[in-house]
């Protein structure tokens, strides 16, 4: 039978019997996996888009021309910022060792070139004080620019899609980061695809910066067909900062959420790694990967809800009962799954802590009988 002395000296027992020590899980680190050299063409695009953001900020201050009640330079600035975020993320992803790297390098280059060309046309049209998207004017500059869009936008989409197909089957990094990459890239493809639906929202007549009437063959605002007219609907009743529509659905919302899912998920990976040393239940890689999976599922559900809401010509800030129920159900599911991951992780941690104690008791009892 074990004595009080043997029970009260677990450290001595562990030293004498190292095989019964329980290894402490290594704390997670904040460092994302490091790859090789970043993709040069994408980095050049990122630098150029960053310069465009700064230029556009200055343009909103010194150029008072307006399109749909916003500065002519707001759209180039927003596109520049979006390409900075996504381009840098893609450059980092392509720097990770992976199979098919030669193919993905060329696809990344195609993405960078298409980004340069497409955003370049947006800048040209902003400087001219007119519209880049859906503009049906027949002047030479706009006619050529629309041909650019007709080829450049699919180029961006398919280059990204093939990169996703190549990377999604490979384990590039640790489990939580890999899950964030795979889910984030998939959601980005969905977000890009949803942007194409803006071309089916109906015509509208708007005015350019000089006050001339311009016909747009489509737009980002969705109105019910019974209330839709040729009056300008894009830019009417926009929200602060985002300028998303308050008079109807806005397809830019799911488009935006999908494109930037990967940044949100990677930030969640960093946050969980930072919390892991402070929360022992987060230290196992499997637990953090499960939480990233729950977040990705919740993000996909959010994307589906706001898309469904926009297609019903409903503003984000004016949800009806069905939309609120969907949001509530999504929160309940995500909360339930998160709690499940938490309790399983806590149970596993408690079991691992109890295992060495049982081993010490068995060893101490054996020694005492001997």
pLDDT tens digits for range 189-200 = 999 999 999 999
pLDDT tens digits for range 85-139 = 999 999 999 999 999 999 999 999 999 999 999 999 999 999 999 999 999 999 9
pLDDT tens digits for range 317-326 = 999 999 999 9
pLDDT value at position 355? 63
pTM: 0.84
pLDDT tens digits for range 289-329 = 999 999 999 999 999 999 999 999 999 999 999 999 999 99
pLDDT tens digits for range 174-219 = 899 999 999 999 999 999 999 999 999 999 999 999 999 999 999 9
Q: Is the pLDDT of residue 18 over 80?
A: no
Three-state secondary structure along the chain? CCCHHHHCCHHHHHHHCHHHCCCCCCCCCCCCCCCCCCCHHHHHHHHHHHHHHHHHHHHHHHCCCEECCEECCHHHHHHHHHHHHHHHHHHHHHHCCCCCHHHHHHHHHHHHHHHHHHHHHHHHHHHHCCCCCCECCCCHHHHHHHHHHHHHHHHHHHHHHHHHHHHCCCCCCCHHHHHHHHHHHHHHHHHHHHHHHHHHCCCEEEECCCCCEEEECCCCEECCHHHCCCCCCCCCCECCCCCCECCCEECHHHHHHHHCHHHHHHHHHHHHHHHCCCCHHHCCHHHHHHHHHHHHHHHHHHHHHHHHHHHCCCCCCCCCHHHHHHHHHHHHHHHHHHHHHHHHHHHHHHHHHHHHHHHHHHHHHHHHHC
In the predicted model, what is the mean pLDDT of residues 24-44? Answer: 68
Q: Is the pLDDT of residue 63 over 90?
A: yes
């Amino acid at each position: 039978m074990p004595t009080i002395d043997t029970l009260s000296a677990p450290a001595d027992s562990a030293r004498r019997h190292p095989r019964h020590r329980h290894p402490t899980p290594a704390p997670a680190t904040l460092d994302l996996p490091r790859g090789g050299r970043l993709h040069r063409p994408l980095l050049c695009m990122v630098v150029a888009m960053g310069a465009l953001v700064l230029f556009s900020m200055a343009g909103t201050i010194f150029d008072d021309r307006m399109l749909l009640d916003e500065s002519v330079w707001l759209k180039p600035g927003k596109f520049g910022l979006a390409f900075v975020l996504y381009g840098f993320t893609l450059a980092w992803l392509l720097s990770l060792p992976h199979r098919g790297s030669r193919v993905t390098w060329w696809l990344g280059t195609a993405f960078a070139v298409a980004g340069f060309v497409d955003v370049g046309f947006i800048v040209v049209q902003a400087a001219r004080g007119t519209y880049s998207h859906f503009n049906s004017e027949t002047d030479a500059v706009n006619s050529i620019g629309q041909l650019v869009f007709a080829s450049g936008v699919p180029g961006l989409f398919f280059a990204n899609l093939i990169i996703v197909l190549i990377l999604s089957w490979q384990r590039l990094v640790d489990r939580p980061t890999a899950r964030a990459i795979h889910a984030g890239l998939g959601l980005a493809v969905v977000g890009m695809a949803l942007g194409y639906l803006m071309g089916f929202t109906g015509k509208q007549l708007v005015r350019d910066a000089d006050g001339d009437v311009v016909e747009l063959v489509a737009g980002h605002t969705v109105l019910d067909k019974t209330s839709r007219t040729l009056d300008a609907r894009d830019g009417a009743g926009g929200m602060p900062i985002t300028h998303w529509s308050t008079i109807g659905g806005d397809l830019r919302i799911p488009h935006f959420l999908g494109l930037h899912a990967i940044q949100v998920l990677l930030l969640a990976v960093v946050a969980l790694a930072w919390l892991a040393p402070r929360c022992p239940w987060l230290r196992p890689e499997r637990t953090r990967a499960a939480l990233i999976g729950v977040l990705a599922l919740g993000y996909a559900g959010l994307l589906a809800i706001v898309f469904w809401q926009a297609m019903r010509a409903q503003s984000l800030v004016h949800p009806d009962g069905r939309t609120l129920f969907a949001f509530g159900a999504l929160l309940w599911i995500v909360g339930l799954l998160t709690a499940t991951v938490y309790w399983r992780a806590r149970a596993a941690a408690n079991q691992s802590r109890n295992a060495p104690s049982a081993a010490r008791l068995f060893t101490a009892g054996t020694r005492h009988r001997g």
